[in-house]
Chain A
Amino acid sequence: MKLIKAVVRPNKVDEVKEALAKLSISGMTVTEVRGHGKQKGHTAVYRGKEYNVSLLPKMEIEVVVQDGIVDEVIAAIIQAARTGEIGDGRVFVIPVDQAYRIRTGEREVI
């Protein structure tokens, strides 16, 4: 199993969710985050005063999926979240060793 962590533009969350739903993935964690990659923010001006917007608002989507569909999920996320402009985000894939269900304490089969 893999944990797929995608950092995307806030306005792309709904599209990513829809794309994942088409792959029958409905469970996910969505977090409001701020950060920057190569984009490194930009300078904004308000009433003549410049200020640096270094940390940009993004959404982080986390899903845990079977190894067999990882590539398909990654492709779906990229396709949904992509605009082609700098700042589209990142997808990380992380191996998952174990998983437990909190309610019952059962170890999930991976």
Chain B
Amino acid sequence: MPATTVERLDAARQELSAEAARGQGGRGALERFADRFDALLRDVFADAPRPPTDVAVCALGGYGRRRLCLHSDVDVLLLFDGPIRDGDERFVRAFLHPLWDLRLVVGHQVREVGEFARLETDNPTFLLALLDARVVIGNRSLFDRAAASLETAHARAQILHSLWQLIDERHAGFNDTLYQLEPDIKDAPGALRDLNALRTIARLTDPALLDRGPTDCERLDEAEEFLSRIRSILHLESRRNHNTLSHELQERSAQAMQYAGDEPRQRVERLMSDYFRHARAISRALEWARQTAPAPAGANLVRSRDGIRFVDLQYARAHPESWLGVFQTAVDAESPVAYNTLAWMQQHADRYAAEDFFPTPADRSALLAFLKPRPGLYARLSEMHDCGLLGRMFPEFAAISCRVVRDFYHKYTVDEHTLLTIRNLERLAARATPGRERFATLLADLPAPELLVLALLFHDVGKWRDEDHASESVRMARQMLERLQLPPASRDVVEFLIRHHLRMSVAAFRRDTEDPEIVRQFAELVGIEDQLKMLCLMTLVDVEAVSLETMTPWREELLWRLYVDTYNQLTIGYGDEVIDRSQSDLADLLARGPAAVSESEITRFVEGLPRRYLRLFTPEAVYRHVQLSRDIQPDHVHAALEQKGPVWELTVVTLDKPFLFSNICGVLSSFGMDILRGHALTNPNGLVLDHFQFTDQERFLALNADGREHLVRALEEAVSGQVDIAGRVRVREQSVLYRRTGVPRFAPIIHCDNHASRRYTILDIIANNALGLLHRISRVISRHGCDVDLVLIATEGEKAIDVFHITADGNKLAEAAVTALTADLTHMLEGGREVD
């Protein structure tokens, strides 16, 4: 290190220190200090070996603004014109090492110009620092090329968005108040960083913004001068990059800045009074700018007074997949889409095919997320429809645009009727319709309500023809489902809802629903509870969208009763209807079976299981179950575990034995798993198929490579009786994470029914969801000598809803046994100790 470099740095520091000590370390002093550093960097640059690739050294952030304080970090960017080679690396080392030898804190970034083609959205502080960048030494044109990428409207919106978030996060760290007794001169609300944020907002949105604000530019300059002087004193006094104006440093600062007063306390009060005055001025100006400037609302999106709009129309034109984001953002922000943006979309929408709007899986997922029913969805869909975008995204929908079908009931065009169904659904989601809580609960229970919205959007598209519109709607929906590449199970749900969207209203309003056969047939049609719930909601909102008068409370009641009767048939009565050889869907299953699974194997496995089994699982899943059941021996467990998004699915095949279900549930609980849904089925040969969906709250399976093997081994040990699983669950329940405290949040409901099923006593239990709940319930049942033959497990929010089909010695329970069991279960669910 040449002595001159050290000396020049010392000289620069002494000069700024002297000014700081006099309370004069303001903007001018900081600029001069930054200039000294520029000269120093140029010297170091000149001494380093020349790199083979063209390079520019740029000052970033505060240094870039020439606001370098005594012990500030020196943030620099080394920008190369192409891939970095060995010689370039030698240059980087030769440039940085002397700076480190000077004990400077250098924040350095090394980039190629080409990297700036893509905005580093995951590094917002770097993006902001770049805004203040300037070339110190090297090829200026490199910097100009890199900076050009920040000049697009899209990049500006992105940076603004990041700045907004950073401000919020920083302010939250100060409890969102500027009135700090020991303020951070750099980061606190109303301090230097806010002032810089304010100027950045103006620069990115409207440079004239500051002239219109509550605090004029001169006043802001004055505030900056004051804060800079104090900051210089803080660095001088603490000999490091320290920016907190502590009580002790307040006294020294007041003295250095020559505040009047006989006592230190008086001088400090005057200093802090000035501080708060300046901080208030900055804070007020920033708040005003945030309210006035178009607020960043997402990638290439801002929120103006008239709604959400694109920033960079050229970018939007090149990226039609970004258009949905406008409406998604508008729903999130509870704002309309700006008229100009809608007009622009109307002008350009017909340039694109439907596929252009959803080219990637992420875009298609975004569409489904957008379709989740919530306030604002109808309004945004209507905007999309009015500007022609909905018809471009879904050409099938264009077929019913302003379509008039004359009948006695409908009062609106088919497209508007369709959109109104979605409005009615979103009102349910918002619980905005009094008296509809029971239907709102159904909607809240749905795991994928967006499929219902998709079905509603397409349920009447077939009305462009005059006959059999449901079949035509299904045909047209298939095209859309193909484009969106939905998973087969989701496609089936959407097709089912569209095909049968009139069936529930016919059954509820025009059939004798007091007749159990009508209910049974309807239950056979819907198959499983989620489809029933969706069809019920679809019927409600569809009939309501016909006209204001169509869905009367009277009809609502009829619909609800059919729903309840069908739900009970599905969850309680299903055990009586078992698969037999004559069943047509069994024939289909056998015909489609893979070569690896024989017909006799399939028949042996499914015969005697409830018919519901074939509705719950796809044929492929059934074949896997059959394969799992091969060579099963007493006490053996054949299990399959797979992850589906945030949820894990466990399939267990084993042979029935006392306490089996309780032990399997216990194993999951002992690993901290939260069981969400599931089914337990037993066939007449004693073969048990349990299927669970659970979340791994402690991330045991994600964090442990051998976690799956652990879990399956624990299942084997529990089923074979090698471990006391109840003891393990008890230990887990005692953990501070899961300990049950006091009274349950709502009283548990236990309903025992000995009449609904020919074969089983039905136990319906609604209780607070808690770790080990299923294990405890089924343990009590087993302790009463009962067999758990079938179980339906559901979780809705905090509620666990479990339906057990049980027998004792192959028969329904006697009344005395029901009474005793119910009493024990009540005792346990109300928090009582289990009695062995």
On A, residues with C-beta under 8 Å from B are 9-12, 14, 32-34, 44-50, 53, 57, 83, 85, 87
Residue B509 contacts which of A10, A44, A53 (CB distance < 8 angstroms)? Answer: A10
| In the complex, B568 has a CB within 8 A of chain A | yes
C-alpha spacing A10/B561, complex, angstroms: 13
A46 contact set on B, CB distance < 8 A = 564, 567-568
- Which of B's residues lie within 8 Å of A, judged by CB? 509-514, 552, 554-555, 557-558, 561, 564-565, 567-568, 749-751, 753, 764-766, 801
Q: Which residue of A lies closest to B555 (CB)?
A: A32
A57 to B558, CA, bound (A): 7
Chain B residue with minimal CB distance to A58?
B554
What residues of chain B lie closer than 8 Å to A87, measured between beta carbons? 514
A100 to B750, CA, bound (A): 59
Least Cβ–Cβ distance between B499 and chain A, in angstroms: 23
Given A45-B568, A46-B564, A46-B568, is A32 in contact with B511 using a C-beta cutoff of 8 Å? Answer: no
* A57 neighbours in B (Cβ, 8 Å): 554, 557-558, 561
**B554 adjacent to A32 (CB under 8 Å):** yes
Nearest Cβ on chain B to A5's Cβ, whole angstroms:
17
Q: Could you tell me if A47 and B552 are in contact, using CB atoms closer than 8 angstroms? A: no
Give the residues in chain B near A45, CB-CB below 8 Å.
568, 751, 753, 764
Partner of A48, one of B509, B565, B766: B766
Q: CB distance A47 to B514 under 8 Å?
A: no
Please judge, given known A-B contacts A44-B561, A85-B514, A87-B514, whether A49 and B552 are in contact too, CB under 8 Å: no
Q: How far is the CA of A46 from the CA of B529 in the complex (A)?
A: 13
Nearest A-chain residue to B568, judged by Cβ: A45
Given contacts A10-B509, A32-B554, A57-B554, contact A49 B751 (CB under 8 A): yes
Q: Give the residue of A9, A11, A32, A85 whose beta carbon is less than 8 angstroms from that of B552.
A: A32
A to B CB contacts below 8 Å, 29 in the list: A9-B514, A10-B510, A10-B558, A11-B509, A11-B511, A11-B512, A11-B513, A14-B510, A32-B552, A33-B554, A44-B561, A44-B564, A45-B568, A46-B564, A46-B567, A46-B568, A47-B749, A47-B764, A48-B749, A48-B751, A48-B766, A49-B749, A49-B766, A50-B751, A53-B561, A57-B554, A57-B557, A57-B561, A83-B512
B554's closest neighbor in chain A, by CB? A32
User: Given the complex of chains A and B, what is the CA–CA distance between A47 and B766 in angstroms?
Assistant: 7
Rounded to whole angstroms, the CA-CA distance of A48 and B552 in the bound complex is 27
User: Which B residues are CB-close (under 8 A) to A33?
Assistant: 554
Q: How far is the CA of A83 from the CA of B801 in the complex (A)?
A: 37
Q: Give me 16 other A-B pairs in contact (C-beta within 8 A), A10-B558, A45-B568, A83-B512 excluded.
A: A10-B510, A11-B509, A11-B510, A11-B512, A32-B554, A44-B561, A44-B565, A46-B564, A46-B567, A48-B750, A48-B766, A49-B751, A57-B554, A57-B557, A57-B561, A85-B514
Question: Cα distance A87–B515 when bound, in Å?
Answer: 12
Chain B residue at minimal CB-CB distance from A55: B557
Shortest CB distance A40–B (Å): 14
* CA–CA, A94 and B229, complex, Å: 99
Shortest beta-carbon distance from B815 to chain A in Å: 17
A22 CA to B825 CA, complexed, in Å: 60
Q: Give bound CA distance, A33 to B553, whole Å.
A: 10
B709 to chain A, nearest CB (A): 38
Are the C-beta atoms of B558 and A48 separated by less than 8 Å? Answer: no
Asked if A34 contacts B509 (CB within 8 A), the reply is: no
A27→B113 CA distance, assembly (Å):
84
By a CB distance below 8 angstroms, the chain B residues around A32 are: 552, 554-555
Residues of B within 8 A of A47 (CB): 749, 764, 766, 801
Contacts of B801 in A (CB 8 A): 47
**Complex-state Cα separation, A10 to B506, whole angstroms:** 11
How far apart sit A77 and B405, CA to CA, in the bound complex (Å)? 33
Question: How far, in Å, is A93 (CB) from chain B's closest CB?
Answer: 25
Residues of chain A with a CB closer than 8 A to B765's CB: 48
Find the A residue at minimum CB distance from B802: A48
> What is the minimal beta-carbon distance from A89 to any residue of chain B, in angstroms?
12
Whole-angstrom distance between the Cβ of A61 and the nearest chain B Cβ: 15
Alpha-carbon separation in the docked complex, A14 to B565 (Å): 24
Contacts of B552 in A (CB 8 A): 32
Residue of A nearest to B752 (CB): A48
Residues from chain B with a CB closer than 8 A to the CB of A50 are: 751
